[in-house]
Amino acid sequence: MFTRRRFLETTALAGAALVVGVRFDSRPAAAVEGLAPDAFVRIAPDNTVTIISKHIELGQGSYSGVATILAEELDADWSQIRVESAPSDAARYGNRLLGGAQVTGGSTAMADSWSQMRRAGATARAMLVEAAAREWSIPASEITVDRGVVSHAPSGRRATFGELASKAAAIAPPAQVTLKDPKDFKLVGKQPPRVDSRAKTDGSAQYTMDFAVPGMLTALIARPPRFGATVKSFDATAARRVKGVTHVVPVPAGVAVVAESFWAARKGREALRVAWDESRAEKRGTDELYAAYRVLAGRPATRARREGDADGALRGAARVLEAVYEFPYLAHAPMEPLDAVIRVGADGCDLWAGSQAPTIDQQVVAQIVGVPANTVRVHTLLGGGSFGRRATPNGDVAGEAASIAKAIGGDRAVKLVWTREDDIQGGRYRPLYVHRLRGGLDAAGNIVGWEHRIVGQSIASGTPFESAMVKDGVDRTSVEGAANLPYAIANIAVDLHTTRIGVPVLWWRSVGSTHTAYSTETFLDELAHAVGRDPVDLRRALLAKHPRHLAALNLAADRAGWGQTLPSGRARGVAVHESFNSVVAQVVEVSRRPDGLPKVERVVCAVDCGTAINPDVVRAQMEGGIGYGLAAALWNEVTLVRGRVQQRNFDTYRPLRIGEMPAVEVHIVPSGAAPTGVGEPGVPPIAPAVANAFFQLTGQRVRRLPFARLAAAGTRTS
Amino acid sequence: MANLRINGAARTVAADDDIPLLWVLREQLQMTGTKYGCGIAQCGACTVHIDGRAARACVTPAAVLQGREVVTIEGVSGDVARAVQETWRRLDVAQCGYCQSGQIMSAIALLSEIRRPSDADIDAAMTGNVCRCATYVRIRAAIHEAATTLGA
Ligand code: FES
Ligand code: FES
């Protein structure tokens, strides 16, 4: 069988003039003429420049970012740029910052792409220039390139990329290329419009949920009511009677109901009777977990960081403050529920998904279906949000789809859909944590000791990432943001109790910083208040050795008018936090809603993300991160009672709505450094900044998230 | 079977079994611009126009729509639609984009009714449209800007 992989190899051997289109179907793509110096760009005779993104577009702007970098060095015209997603091939499309697997995550897309895409663009440019030089018999050094046009001023000759592409394909790619001086950038740092806005405003953007192939079936899975339960028996009589239901099959995740349409699958699932074996299921509720964690928070734990002697400093302190924090399980709830389309054929297997980790999916599907990994083709479609949920260490959704395909046999494609209820109740949550902080002050009001203990599940434990992420018993995702506390405090101890609970957990937009930024930044605020220091001044004093933190903090404070009087009924709060190598400071203004919760009126955000490739995308990610973090801080929690999840859908897992979105101003700290993350770092500061402002306004410290628990508990605080 | 008018054309669809309009559009007519987000009228991803008003296709049985005029993101047209879609592009409102068909349909319905909406009008008309990417700052700005473009 002439597989696509084989086709790629063959055409690569046949020379650069033949290149392969990356398509979303499994037929060998048609060869087109043009220039394709490497795996990342293709220039066609019709003058289109197609950039192949190895990073999935989930809304974070990766397609636009990758294209901006490459088009910059290529000197392409923005209007000729197209972006396609890369096929699954870790050898060519691996993320060099994540061990070489083809994975989008950890806010690394720009950092990983920066030098690679610049080089790819510069290489293609050099080949076009050389083609023109040969064609016109002039020295390459006399040629200029601007917005997709190659010209020679002395002779007045000009050619478009498209006109030169096929000739350039005959030229060997140069071994060395010169990259631009950043001062000559025309796209990077400017505002090229997003490449995906048109398709996302006329209904044509295609997500996995929209993808279909002829004859495709739709599957839903009846999932256990408690985590860890398994199918004991099931009665499919009624389900099979539902018109359109074709198969009811047991799979590791539960019982799959497969049908000719979503609606039939849903009806079939409703009619299905399943008896569950819950003998090994997790039956504790979140109240019990909090209670157990609070006990653990009082006991010594595994050390994650030691500076000086925190214990001694706290014993000798004039005053010791202590606070205990509770953080709930959180669902990601991306707007597009989880889904995948799979087809197992004689020539291999195709998976269409909006997955952050094609390499993992490829291996998982191969293992389940029982075929070599290189015969599994993963086609990455646009993702309707993810926030970490579409990157699982075990390729859960792809694996479920594969298990269904295997169970029903045949070669009809199957689309697995998670309903919103499946999504909210199906686990892989941001773990529940309890933190205990103690801070020691000397008689002069200096912070002399800082002790931080974190209790919660490990995200990496039991996954293929364990060896890389868990060191000396400490999962760094549990303590990131706490173990690297930037403040100049002589004696610091950070400890971790890792718990084992049968609730599946996962990284959630900004991972450890979702909770560590909250406890550290609100506790520092408590210490500042205890000694009568202004919270910005105190941070400045303790951040003298951290210029990026200082710059972001100062920028946000200045633009927010920190220190200036506010109308009554309003108060300000501040937080600054580093995550994914970017530093974000936020100053918020809050008032009070009729129900007593904070209403966030305005957020002034300053971000240092190195070179801002697309400043407007950076702004958008800060806006979005603020809104995403705010929904969680105010309302979101997944609670369990006797092991059963209490929330079901957006009625009980409350998303932020337009009237609750604050005005947001984003300021970017000028930087010539290599780019760092923006997808996640906007999230961590918002909740603590709001909490600090809320304290200013009300005198209440909120130590249990979400804020909505305040209303439930009256005015009780820890 | 039911006879519907969708985007100005007569369509015969299988509308038994209380199937919602959403799944008829998506699976029988291959109009996938209208999205599934919650299925219980909580997110607005499935917003379409029924006789010119914004409605949630996920809870609207297709069978009750005989004789009604349904317009989806694929068929929306006119000055207001153009202004909204162009402004959405100019401001790069969309992030993941999955909610945006619904946002745009609600915004068009709003601007068709109120030519100069206030912030409170926007809150009221758009509150049923969730955006998990939280593009709300730009949605609001785009509605105001589209209103200005329309010169009401
Ligand atoms: S899918 Fe209809 S409102 Fe959510
Ligand atoms: S743009 Fe992603 S949900 Fe709105």
What is the model's pLDDT at position A636? 98
Say which CATH number the domain at A31 has: 3.30.365.10
Q: Is the dihedral of CA B5, B7, B13, B19 positive or negative?
A: negative
What SS3 string covers chain B? CEEEEECCEEEEECCCCCCEHHHHHHHHCCCCCCCCCCCCCCCCCCEEEECCEEEEHHHCEHHHHCCCEEECCCCCCCHHHHHHHHHHHHCCCCCCCCCHHHHHHHHHHHHHHCCCCCHHHHHHHHCCCCCCCCCHHHHHHHHHHHHHHHCC
- Regarding whether A239 and A178 lie in a shared domain, the answer is no
Mean pLDDT score across all residues of chain A: 93
Supply the range of the domain harboring residue A502: 286-329+429-712
pLDDT beyond 60 at A13: no
The tokens for A48 are 């289109």
Tell me, rounded to whole angstroms, the distance of Cα A288 from its chain centroid. Answer: 30
Compare all CA atoms of chain A with the CA of B21 and give the residue at the minimum distance: A263
User: What is the mean pLDDT of the segment spanning A74-86?
Assistant: 96
Give the gap in angstroms from C-alpha A685 to the nearest C-alpha of chain B: 16
Nearest to B47 by CA among B122, B120, B107, B6: B107
Q: Is the dihedral of CA A298, A300, A304, A305 positive or negative?
A: positive
- What is the widest separation between alpha-carbon atoms in chain B? 46
Residue nearest atom 3 of ligand 1, based on CA coordinates: B41
Contact (Cβ atoms closer than 8 angstroms) between residue B99 and residue B45:
yes
- Regarding whether A697 and A622 lie in a shared domain, the answer is yes
* Chain B residues 71-100 within an 8 A CB cutoff of chain A: 72-74, 85, 88-90, 92-100
Looking at A417, A447, A473, the residue that finishes a domain is A417
Atom number in ligand 2 closest to CA B96: 2
Pairing of strands A491-499, A302-307: antiparallel
Distance, CA of A500 to CA of A240 (rounded, Å): 39
Distance, CA of A250 to CA of A86 (rounded, Å): 34
- Regarding whether A445 and A410 lie in a shared domain, the answer is no
Put simply, the answer to whether B134 touches A626 (Cβ < 8 Å) is yes
Of B16, B32, B96, the CB nearest to A59: B96
The model's pLDDT over A177-225, given as tens digits with 9 standing for 90+, comes to 999 999 999 999 998 999 999 999 999 999 999 999 999 999 999 999 9
* CA B76 to each of CA A48, A622, B37, B105, B108: distance values in angstroms, whole numbers, following the listed order: 29, 31, 21, 8, 9
Which residue type sits at A295?
V
- Regarding whether A295 and A361 lie in a shared domain, the answer is no
pLDDT beyond 90 at A493: yes
Domain count, chain A: 3
Q: How confident is the model at residue A23 (pLDDT cuts 50, 70, 90)?
A: very low
pLDDT beyond 50 at A30: no
The tokens for B77 are 């047209």
Domains of chain B: 2-71 (3.10.20.30), 79-149 (1.10.150.120)
The model's pLDDT over A585-597, given as tens digits with 9 standing for 90+, comes to 999 999 999 999 9
Which residues in chain A are contacts of B134 at CB distance < 8 A?
623-628, 630-631, 656, 661
Question: Chain B interface, mutation test: which of A68, A200, A420, A686, most B Cβ atoms within 10 Å?
Answer: A200
Go through A185-204 and write b for each residue having 16 or more CB atoms within 10 A of its CB, e for each that does not. Answer: bebbbeebbbbbbebbbbbe
Q: H or E stretch including A134?
A: helix A109-136
Atom number in ligand 1 closest to CA B35: 1
Going from the Cα of B138 to the center of ligand 2, the distance in angstroms, rounded, reads: 11
Q: H or E stretch including A574?
A: strand A571-579
Distance, CA of B34 to CA of A490 (rounded, Å): 57
Q: List strand residue ranges (DSSP E) for A73-114, in order.
A: 81-85
Compare all CA atoms of chain B with the CA of A626 and give the residue at the minimum distance: B134
CB pairs under 8 A between A and B: 178
Whether residue A207 lies inside any domain: the answer is: no
Of B17, B23, B98, the CB nearest to A384: B98
Give the gap in angstroms from C-alpha A354 to the nearest C-alpha of chain B: 11
- Regarding whether A613 and A537 lie in a shared domain, the answer is yes
A300: how many CB neighbours lie within 10 A of its CB? 11
Going from the Cα of B44 to the center of ligand 1, the distance in angstroms, rounded, reads: 5
Strand order, beta sheet including A571-579: A571-579, A582-592, A598-608, A663-668
Q: How confident is the model at residue A7 (pLDDT cuts 50, 70, 90)?
A: very low
The model's pLDDT over B76-90, given as tens digits with 9 standing for 90+, comes to 999 999 999 999 999
Whether residue A424 lies inside any domain: the answer is: no
Whether residue A698 lies inside any domain: the answer is: yes
Q: How confident is the model at residue B142 (pLDDT cuts 50, 70, 90)?
A: very high
Whether residue A718 lies inside any domain: the answer is: no
Q: Measured from the CB, is residue B38 less than 6 Å from ligand 1?
A: yes
Nearest to A635 by CA among A660, A653, A657: A653
- Regarding whether A406 and A436 lie in a shared domain, the answer is no
Looking at A417, A448, A467, the residue that finishes a domain is A417
The model's pLDDT over A330-366, given as tens digits with 9 standing for 90+, comes to 999 999 999 999 999 998 999 999 999 999 999 999 9
Pairing of strands A230-235, A273-277: antiparallel
Put simply, the answer to whether A651 touches B42 (Cβ < 8 Å) is yes
Whether residue A423 lies inside any domain: the answer is: no
Which residues are paired to A33 by β-bridges?
A18
Whether residue A399 lies inside any domain: the answer is: yes
Helix axes B79-90, B136-150, angle to 10 degrees: 130
Which residues in chain B are contacts of A203 at CB distance < 8 A?
31-34, 72-74, 101
- Regarding whether A437 and A408 lie in a shared domain, the answer is no
Q: How confident is the model at residue A32 (pLDDT cuts 50, 70, 90)?
A: low
Burial class (CB within 10 angstroms; exposed 0-12, middle 13-18, buried 19+) of A563: exposed
- Regarding whether A229 and A163 lie in a shared domain, the answer is no
What would the DSSP string read from start to end of A513-567?
HHHHHHHHHHHHHHHHHHTT--HHHHHHHHTTT-HHHHHHHHHHHHHHTTTS---
Tell me, rounded to whole angstroms, the distance of Cα A359 from its chain centroid. Answer: 17
Distance, CA of B55 to CA of A581 (rounded, Å): 44
Distance, CA of B20 to CA of B34 (rounded, Å): 12
Of B45, B94, B101, the CB nearest to A196: B94
The model's pLDDT over A591-650, given as tens digits with 9 standing for 90+, comes to 999 999 999 999 999 999 999 999 999 999 999 999 999 999 999 999 999 999 999 999
- 3-state helix, strand and coil shares in percent for chain A, rounded to the nearest 5: 30, 25, 40
pLDDT beyond 70 at A112: yes
* CA A391 to each of CA A105, A450, A506, A509: distance values in angstroms, whole numbers, following the listed order: 8, 34, 9, 11
- Regarding whether A298 and A162 lie in a shared domain, the answer is no
- Regarding whether A591 and A565 lie in a shared domain, the answer is yes
What is the model's pLDDT at position A10? 29
Q: Measured from the CB, is residue B41 less than 6 Å from ligand 1?
A: yes
Q: How confident is the model at residue A12 (pLDDT cuts 50, 70, 90)?
A: very low
Put simply, the answer to whether B93 touches A631 (Cβ < 8 Å) is no
Whether residue A321 lies inside any domain: the answer is: yes
- Regarding whether A565 and A487 lie in a shared domain, the answer is yes
Of A337, A419, A624, the CB nearest to B95: A624
B69: how many CB neighbours lie within 10 A of its CB? 14
Go through A398-415 and write b for each residue having 16 or more CB atoms within 10 A of its CB, e for each that does not. Answer: bbbbbbbbbbbeeebbbb
Which residues in chain B are contacts of A336 at CB distance < 8 A?
35, 37, 96, 98
Distance, CA of A689 to CA of A603 (rounded, Å): 9
Nearest to A377 by CA among A91, A87, A101: A87
User: What is the mean pLDDT of the segment spanning A372-381?
Assistant: 96
Put simply, the answer to whether A664 touches B85 (Cβ < 8 Å) is no
Q: H or E stretch including A211?
A: none
pLDDT beyond 70 at A19: no
Q: How confident is the model at residue A15 (pLDDT cuts 50, 70, 90)?
A: very low
Which residues in chain A are contacts of B27 at CB distance < 8 A?
218, 261-263
Which residues in chain A are contacts of B133 at CB distance < 8 A?
59, 335, 385, 624, 627-628
Contacting residues for A696 by C-beta, under 8 A, at least 6 apart: A571, A572, A573
Q: Which of B25, B38, B100 to mutate to test the pocket of ligand 1 (most atoms within 8 A of CB)?
A: B38
- Regarding whether A222 and A188 lie in a shared domain, the answer is no
Q: Measured from the CB, is residue B45 less than 6 Å from ligand 2?
A: no
A21: how many CB neighbours lie within 10 A of its CB? 14
Give, as one character, the DSSP assignment of residue A596. S
Looking at A377, A395, A417, the residue that finishes a domain is A417
